Amino acid sequence: MSLLRVRGLTKEFGDLVAVDDVDFDVADGEFVSILGPSGSGKSTVLRMVAGFEEPTEGEIALDDVEIVGSPPFERDVNMVFQDLALFPHLTVAENIGYGLKQSGVPADERRERTERMLEMVRLEGYGDRTPTELSGGEQQRVALARALVNEPALVLFDEPLSSLDRKLRQHMQSELQRIQVETETTFLYVTHDQEVALAVSDRLVVLDDGEIQQVGTVEELYEEPASRFVADFIGDVNAVEGRVTAVDDGTIGLDVDGGEVSIPRDAAVEDLAVDDAVDVCIRPFQVRVEPTDVDDSAGDALVAGEFSTTGVVRSRSYQGSDSQYGIETDRWGRLSAEVRSAAFDVDDRVTVAWDAADVHVYRRDGEEPADDRDGGS
Amino acid sequence: MAESPRSDDERVSPSGDGETVAGTDREVATDGGTASGVDGRVSDLTTFLRERPRLRTLSIAGPPYGILLFFFAIPLLAMLVVSFQADRIGGAWTLRNYTGFLTSETYLTVVWRTFLISVQVTAIVAGVGYGLAYSIVRFSRRTTLLLLLVILPFWTSYIIRMYAWINILQSDGVLDSTLNLAGLPALSLLYTDTAVLIGFTYVWLPLAVLPFYASLTNLDGDLIEASKDLGAGPIRTFLSVTLPMTINGVITGIVLVFIPTFGSFITPRLLGGTNNIMIGMVIENQFKSAFNWPFGAAIGIVISVVVVVLLVLATRLGGGLFGAGGETS
C-alpha cells in the first residue's frame, strides 16, 4: 500500500511550469529520494507535499486521504529544512518539543519524548543548549529529532546535508538510514547530489525540468537509464554522437564519428528512425582496456556481442582502487574507461572493448524525431 | 615621471615644502610618489594619525561627543542645578520645587493622565505599525515605495500636519462634511482625547514602522514555515516565533513612541483643547507663561527620571541591546 500517492501534480508560477504532471508513490517505510539538478522542481514538489505551496493541478494523498488544500499544520508530515530553520530563541529541548507542545502533549510526556529523541540522535545532555552553540552536524541532528519526535507518517528532507563537508555528510547518511530503520518512518528526501541519493534511497524519482525522467531502484536507474539525462545524472557516462543510417529487425546501423557500426535493436531505449541524431552511451566502468600492437581498427565491428576498437591513451588519473583513462579511439571518439589496472601510460596504444548489451542509445536532447511517427498518439 | 611630482610641488606652494619633507620621510609617500598634492597630503595625514592611535580616536569620536556634551549634558546639568533653586534662576537653594510637585494631586493627576494617553498611543501605534510593517515585508513587492510612503509625512513640518488635522477633525471640517454627505451624524472630534490619540498615532507611526520593518526583514521565513510544519497555526506561530524573534525591534519602536508622547505638548495643545492637559504642557507653561523656570526644571527632571526608569524596564523586558535616546520633544 502506498503511503503517499502523487498524481498529475503540476505547479505553474506565472508562465513557468515548475512541476509538470508528476506521478509517483512512496510506500510505507520506504526511503525515497527525489533527485534532480537545481531548478528541476524537486523542492517545489516537496513544498507541495508539506503544504507550503498549492498545486496548480493534481492530487496528493497521504494514507489515502487527499491533503491538497489543508494547511501545513494539519498535515501528518514534518520537514527537515535545507537551512534547518532551528528556532534560535529556543533551547535544543524546546526546539524538539515544539511540535509536541503545539499538539497539546503534557509537559511531562513532552520532556520524556524529547529525552528519548536526543538519545536517538546521540545528543544526550544537549537539551539546554541553544542551537547556535552546536556544530553543523549537531544542528542537523536536532532538526531531525524535531521532525521525528512528532511521529509523523512521512518525514520530508529538503537537502539538509548539502551544507556539510563530505566526511560528515557520509556519516549523517548512514545515521539517517539507521534512524529511519529504528523509527520505521517513511522518508522522502530531495537532493541534487546523486551520491547522497544513491547511498541512502530504496527508490529514486529523477526529475528534470519539472518532469519525471525515471522512477526506480538505484540498480534500475544505473543499469537501465530511461533517458540520456538519467544516464548522465546517475553516475558517469561516455556519450558518443551518432546518426541512424539503417533500422531493421535486429539491428540499428549508426554512423559514429565517421565510422559505421551496428548495434542490437534493444540497445535503443526509444524508437528510432533513419536520420535521427543519437547519443550512444556506455558507462566508463563497463569499458575494458587491453594492451595491443594492432595498428588499425579493422575489427571495429560487433563480434560475439562485443565491440572492440583501438586507440591511444591520452590521459590517466588514479582514483583509489581504480584508474580512469581518457582514450582517443579510432572509431568512437574519445572514451573514458574506469579499470582496475594502472598498467597503461599516456601514448600507449590499447584495445578498448565493451559488451553490446551495456550500450544504450538515446535520441539527442532537444532534437525532434526525424519523421512524425509519434505525432498520432 | 621625474617631472610630475615637481610640478605638483610648485602648484601647492606654501604647504608644499613641509609636505615633501614629510613625504620623503615616509614609505607611504615615496610609494605613491606620483600622487597629486591633495592625495599626498591625505596619505601624510593618515600616516601621521596611524602612528598616534589616541589622537586618531579623539579626532573621530571627539566632535560627536563634544556636541553631545555641549548641547545635551551641560544643559541637563544646568536644568538639574536650577531645579533646586527657589522661584528664579539664582534663587535660594530649596527642595520645594520637588516636594510641591510630588505632593500636588492636580499635577500627579496630569502625570497619570499623560501616562495613560502615552500607553494608549503606544499600544495603538505598535498594533497598527506592526501590522503595516508585517504586510510590507511579507505580502508586498513594492517594499521601497511603501516605505517611502511611510516616511513621506516627515517631509512636512510637524505643526503644519497638526493644523491639517485640525482642519479635518473640527466641527464642519473635512471629516464631518464627509459624514454629512453620507447621511451620518457629525462627530466634532476636535478638542477631545480621541483627536489627541489620532494626532499622536499619525505622527509617530513611521517611528515605529521603521524598527518593526527592520526586525521583520531579518526574520527568516523558514522559521515561520517550520513552526507551521510542526503544527502551530498562524496565531500560535505569531506568538511563539514571529513576535519573540522581533521583540527587539518592537521594544525599540515602543520606546521611540512612548518617550516623545510622554513629553509632548504641541499635539495635545492643538488637538486636545483646554480640558486635555498633559504634563509637557505644564512644563511649557512654567517656562513660557508662569516664568517659574526652577519649577518647570524640577518637573522636567522628575519626568526624565520616570521615563528613564520605564526605558530600563522595557530594555530588560526585551533582553535586547539597543541605544535609544531618552529625548523629549
pLDDT band for B290, please (50, 70, 90 cuts): confident
Q: Cα separations (Å) of A275 from A245, A363, B39, B295?
A: 6, 11, 70, 102
Mean pLDDT of A326-354: 86
pLDDT of A304 strictly over 80: no
Greater pLDDT, A159 or B318: A159
Q: Where does B51-85 have alpha helices with state H?
A: 53-68, 74-82
Query: Can you give the pLDDT at residue A78?
Result: 96
Query: How many CB atoms lie under 10 A from the CB of residue B138?
Result: 13
Specify the pTM. Answer: 0.76
Query: Can you give the pLDDT at residue A258?
Result: 61
The CA distance from A224 to A281, in Å, is 11
- B67-116 pLDDT tens trace: 999 999 999 999 999 999 988 888 889 999 999 999 999 999 999 999 99
pLDDT of A241 strictly over 60: yes
Contact between B225 and A73 using a beta-carbon 8 Å cutoff: no
Q: What is the DSSP letter of B158?
A: H
H helices, E strands: number in chain A: 8, 21
- B155-170 pLDDT tens trace: 888 899 999 999 999 8
Establish, for the pair of chains A and B, how many residue pairs have beta carbons separated by less than 8 Å.
57
The average confidence (pLDDT) of chain A is 87
What's the helix, strand, coil split of chain B in %, to 5?
75, 0, 20
pLDDT of A273 strictly over 50: yes
Chain B interface residues (partner A, CB cutoff 8 A): 220, 222-223, 225-233, 236, 240-241, 244-245
Exposed / middle / buried, residue A114 (Cβ in 10 Å: 0-12, 13-18, 19+): buried
The H-or-E segment that residue A120 falls in is helix A107-120
pLDDT band for B199, please (50, 70, 90 cuts): very high
pLDDT of B222 strictly over 90: yes
Q: Is ipTM strictly over 0.90?
A: no
Interface of A with B in 283-342 (CB under 8 A): none
* Residue of chain B nearest A52, judged by CA positions: B225
Please choose, from the candidates B93, B94, B98, the residue with its C-alpha nearest in 3D space to the C-alpha of residue B299.
B98
- A143-159 pLDDT tens trace: 999 999 999 999 999 99
Query: Can you give the pLDDT at residue A293?
Result: 64
Mean pLDDT of B168-197: 88
pLDDT of A249 strictly over 60: yes
pLDDT band for A316, please (50, 70, 90 cuts): confident
DSSP 3-state assignment of B218?
A: coil
- What is the end-to-end Cα distance of chain B in Å, rounded? 61
Could you please state the CATH topology (level 3) that the domain comprising B96-322 is classified under.
MetI-like fold (1.10.3720)
Contact between B230 and A71 using a beta-carbon 8 Å cutoff: no
Tell me which residue in A79, A86, A88 faces B229 most closely, judged by beta carbons.
A79
Tell me which residue in B229, B232, B241 faces A78 most closely, judged by beta carbons.
B229
Strand partners, A291: A350
Percent of chain B with pLDDT over 70: 85
Domain ranges, ordered by start, for chain B: 10-51, 96-322
Tell me which residue in B222, B230, B241 faces A99 most closely, judged by beta carbons.
B230
Please choose, from the candidates A8, A142, A147, A129, the residue with its C-alpha nearest in 3D space to the C-alpha of residue A75.
A147
